[in-house]
Amino acid sequence: MKQTTPKLKITSSTAKIGVNYVRDVVERSNCIFQKIDQENDLGIDGLIELIKEEMPINKQLAVQVKSGESYFNIKSNECRIPIENHRLYWSKHPLPVYGVVYVPSLETAYSINIKEYLNEYPNSTIIKFVASDSNEFCTDKFLSLFIPRLLGQVAEISFETALTYFRSGNREEFFIGLTVLFRKHINNINVWDELIEYFKKTSTTDIPAILIYYFAHIPWHGDIWGIGEMPTKGTKDYVQKIFNQFKKVELVKLLSVVDEEGMISRGTVGQSVEAIISSLENCENLLNSIITDKTVLFHIREVAVTIFAMNWPDTSVKQLKALAKEGSWYSDELLKHIQEWGGYNPYA
C-alpha cells in the first residue's frame, strides 16, 4: 500500500498569518484578542475586548479576518470579503462586526464595519472597500482611529493629518478630518477658511449637513449642544465677517440643503440654515432677491420666504401672496398663520 504524507495547505498558513497579525495589533495596543477555534467558526475569527488605561471599558467587537492577495485588488486598491452565507449571522450578531483584510505583500491590513456595509448595500454578495490611510489596521491607527471611531469619539490625529484627510477625495477620511478640525481646532481661523472654501466650491448634493450645523455655531441657535472647545468671540467675529460677504449664490446653496419634509423646524438642518442666513447683514435684500427670482427652484424660494417671514412678518405678506398665486400651498398656509397670529416662529 502506497504511503502518503499529510500536507499543510498554503491557504491554511496564510489564514493563520492574518489572524496572528490582527492578534499582534490588538495585543500591542494592550487590548485582548480571543481567537475562535476553526471548528467553532461561523463567520467570526475572533473577539476583541477593548482596554483603556489598563482598565476594561466593557466594549467588545467581533472580527472576520481574510488573509491573502486574492482578497485585495492591487489595481483598484480595493479589499474584498465574500459574504456567502454569513449575511444573517453578521447582521444579527449582538456585537459590532468588523472585517479585516490582511495583504501579505503589503504586510498590513485594512478594516470595514461589516454591519454598516450590509445595511447600506443589502443586495451585495461581496463586501468591497477601498484601502486607505484611515482604515489601515495597524497598531498606531488602531489606537488613534479605530478605537475612537468604534466609541464614537474624535480621532486622535494631528492637525496636519486632519487637514490632509479633509482635503482627500476619500469620503471616510474627509469626515474624520472635518470632525477633528472642528472639534479640536475650532478657534484656528485657518480651519474656517478651509471649511468655507470647501462650501463655496462644492456642489450642493455633496455638502454634508454636519458642515452646515458646524457653521451654525457662529450665530448659534437653541439646539446646538456644546461638545469640547467652543468658538471664542474673536473666532465668531472673524467668521461672521466672512458670512456677511455671502452673495446670492451662497444663500441659494444654503437654502437648497433644506429638505421639503423637515423645512425649518427644531433639530433639522433647516434650523442651522435659518440661523446662518438670519445673522447676515444683508439678509433682507438677499432673501427678497431669491423669493422674486422665478429662475430659482420653487422649493428654495419657499424656504427663503419662510426665513423672511420669521424676521419681517409684515413685509412678507406681499411675497407670500405672490408665491401662493404661483401655486404654493405652503406659502398660502404660512400667510394665513401670519395674518392670524401676527408672526411665525417654527421653534415655539
Greatest alpha-carbon span in the chain: 103
Q: What's the pLDDT at 40?
A: 57
Indicate the residue among 151, 172, 203 that finishes a domain.
151
pLDDT of 70 strictly over 90 = yes
3-state secondary structure of 187: coil
101 pLDDT band, cuts 50/70/90, is: very high
Beta-carbon count within 10 A of 38 CB:
11
CA distance 313 to 79: 56
- pLDDT 10s digits, 19-29: 999 999 999 99
Task: Say yes or no: 25 and 129 in one domain.
Answer: yes
- pLDDT 10s digits, 252-311: 999 999 998 889 999 999 999 999 999 999 999 999 999 999 999 999 999 999 999 999
In a domain, 329, yes or no: yes
Task: Say yes or no: 233 and 201 in one domain.
Answer: yes
In a domain, 172, yes or no: yes
When divided into structural domains, the chain yields a total of: 3
In a domain, 72, yes or no: yes
In a domain, 222, yes or no: yes
In a domain, 346, yes or no: no
> Strand 97-103 vs strand 55-67: parallel, antiparallel, or unpaired?
parallel
Burial of 299-331, coded b for 16+ CB within 10 Å and e otherwise, reads: bbbbbbbbbbbbbbbeebeebbeebbeeebebb
Task: Say yes or no: 158 and 113 in one domain.
Answer: no
Task: Say yes or no: 248 and 275 in one domain.
Answer: yes
Q: Indicate the burial class of 183 (C-beta count within 10 angstroms; 0-12, 13-18, 19 or more).
A: middle
Task: Say yes or no: 126 and 168 in one domain.
Answer: no
3-state secondary structure of 50: strand
8 pLDDT band, cuts 50/70/90, is: very low
Q: What's the pLDDT at 167?
A: 97
Beta-carbon count within 10 A of 254 CB:
27
pLDDT of 327 strictly over 50 = yes
Residues 6+ apart with CB under 8 A from 166: 173, 174, 177, 178, 181, 194, 198
CATH assignment of the domain containing 116: 3.40.1350.10
Domain range spanning residue 181?
154-185
* pTM score: 0.88
Kindly report the backbone phi and psi dihedral angles of residue 56, in degrees, each rounded to the nearest multiple of 5, phi listed first.
Answer: -65, 145
Side-chain-side CA neighbours of residue 133 (13 Å): 13
Task: Say yes or no: 21 and 121 in one domain.
Answer: yes
Residue 80's Cα: distance from chain center in Å? 23
Residues 6+ apart with CB under 8 A from 96: 61, 62, 113, 115, 150
